[in-house]
A = this chain, B = another copy of it.
Amino acid sequence: MERRAKDERIRQLQQVCRERGLALTAQRRAILRAVLDAQDHPTADRVHATLARRHVRVSRATVYRTLESLARLGLVSKACHPGSAVRYDRRIDRHHHLVCLRCDRVMDFSDERLDALPVPDTRRVGFVVEDLRVQLRGICRECREQEDEK
């Protein structure tokens, strides 16, 4: 993520904290920064590892708690994932995912036509839609190459 956008997000964090009377701690800033720097959809544990590599000492519990808060505040999002750990996503704008059915990897994918998709009516089930994402499910290049070898 570019410097600009990252700083902007940190500023959002400041603002949201002030609005809600939450404390803006060094840990929160560091954890948000680590997610923004990740290319993929890191787990809480990977965020913790990234911070450790940077010699930022934050306890695991705090990482778990903080990521949950950041997601609730809308400063990061949760990636829906076929795997067995919560994944966080620095992207909070509309975008889409390629989901590999072999290796369970999830990659970002952008497409204007998908972005323009009108939100269907879900009032009949009492659900209020805020955004949508399309999952394209299939087989990634690496998995196909592996299977071709056989």
Interface residues of A (CB under 8 A from B): 78-86, 98-101, 104, 106-107, 109, 111, 113-114, 117-120, 122, 125-141, 144
**Are B138 and A125 within 8 A (Cβ)?**
no
B114/A120 in contact, CB under 8 A: yes
Given A79-B82, A84-B86, A133-B134, 19 more A-B residue pairs with CB atoms under 8 Å apart are A78-B82, A80-B80, A80-B82, A98-B127, A107-B127, A109-B122, A111-B120, A113-B118, A122-B138, A125-B141, A126-B144, A128-B138, A128-B144, A130-B139, A131-B137, A132-B134, A132-B135, A132-B136, A132-B137
Q: Which of B80, B129, B136 contacts A127 (CB 8 A)?
A: B136
